[in-house]
Amino acid sequence: MNKNILTIKNLTKQFAGAKRPSIENINLSLSQGRCLGIVGESGSGKSTLARAITGLIPVSSGEIYFEDKCISKFNSAQYKKIYKDIQMIFQLPRESFNPSRTLGGSIVLNLKNFGITGNYKSNAISLLNRCGLDASFHDKYPNEVSGGECQRAAIARAVACSPKLLICDEATSALDMIVQKKIIALLNSLKEEMGMAILFICHDISLVHHMCDDVAVMKSGHIVEKNVAGQIIHNPKNEYTKALIEASNIY
């Protein structure tokens, strides 16, 4: 049985001045080589959860464990030491790149930041190839490529340091359906090849259905249902889950 990469216990985050917590009493686990989908409408707390896991915001209570380390108690210096193992892909890939740096240059910077040595240009091109982009993309800037191509480059940058956990925060939401399917296929391929765990955050349950092994459904900061993906889709128990399925385009 694969060990847990991520374990979340009774996690709560309440922002100052808010009437209710953004997330409350969240309990989740994600094991090596599996993909856990977090699905819910805007405002359900999905992105707050991602930001808490990556240390971008402090938690109000509860614990987050990465492997055997309680990272929710880490300071910024301690978090920096595990960023090699936890990488994130965002909804708007162009905004995650420095516009004055080439795609290849951004990948090389990630390699250098995490102490990965070798022929940097060759390694960057190899990573781009791995993600479905040819060598010419090494010298292209973010504004010179399509959204799907830019997201592929963002994935190449994220997996450059062979992370144990990849967090995808609405990583396919800004793409059209055909490109979404291709990005999902790429992520699944990389998961199998690298054995990493993926936390896939999305508002579209049809995408989660095709991407994830397990699914947790969030509403108003709470998990209302969690199960293996097939059971969530074909035998939902919660009325909110049923409503998400009915409103989606399950393909």
Q: Give the pLDDT of residue 251.
A: 53
Question: First and final CA of the chain: distance in angstroms?
Answer: 31
Distances (CA, A) of 218 to 197, 205, 244: 20, 11, 11
- Between 172 and 70, name the one with better pLDDT: 70
Contacts 24+ apart (CB under 8 A), 111-115: 111/160, 111/161, 114/83, 114/84, 114/160, 114/161
- Mean pLDDT for 204-226 is 93
Domains, the chain, in order of start with CATH, read 1-85+197-251 (3.40.50.300)
Q: How far apart are CA 88 and CA 168, in angstroms?
A: 6
Q: How far apart are CA 2 and CA 10, in angstroms?
A: 23
Residue 250 predicted with pLDDT over 70 = no
Residue 249 predicted with pLDDT over 80 = no
Token pair in block for residue 152 = 């592929």
Predicted TM-score (pTM) of this structure: 0.93
Provide, rounded to the nearest whole percent, the portion of the chain with pLDDT above 90: 78
Q: Give the pLDDT of residue 1.
A: 59
Backbone CA torsion sign across 214, 208, 206, 51 = positive
Q: With 0-12 CB in 10 A as exposed, 13-18 as middle and 19+ as buried, what is 25? A: middle
Token pair in block for residue 53 = 């896991």
Mean pLDDT of the chain: 93
Q: Give the pLDDT of residue 248.
A: 82
Provide, rounded to the nearest whole percent, the portion of the chain with pLDDT above 70: 99
Half-sphere exposure of 107 (CA within 13 A, CB side): 34
| Contacts of 60 by beta carbon, 8 Å cutoff, 6+ apart | 12, 13, 14, 21
Tally of residues, the chain: 251
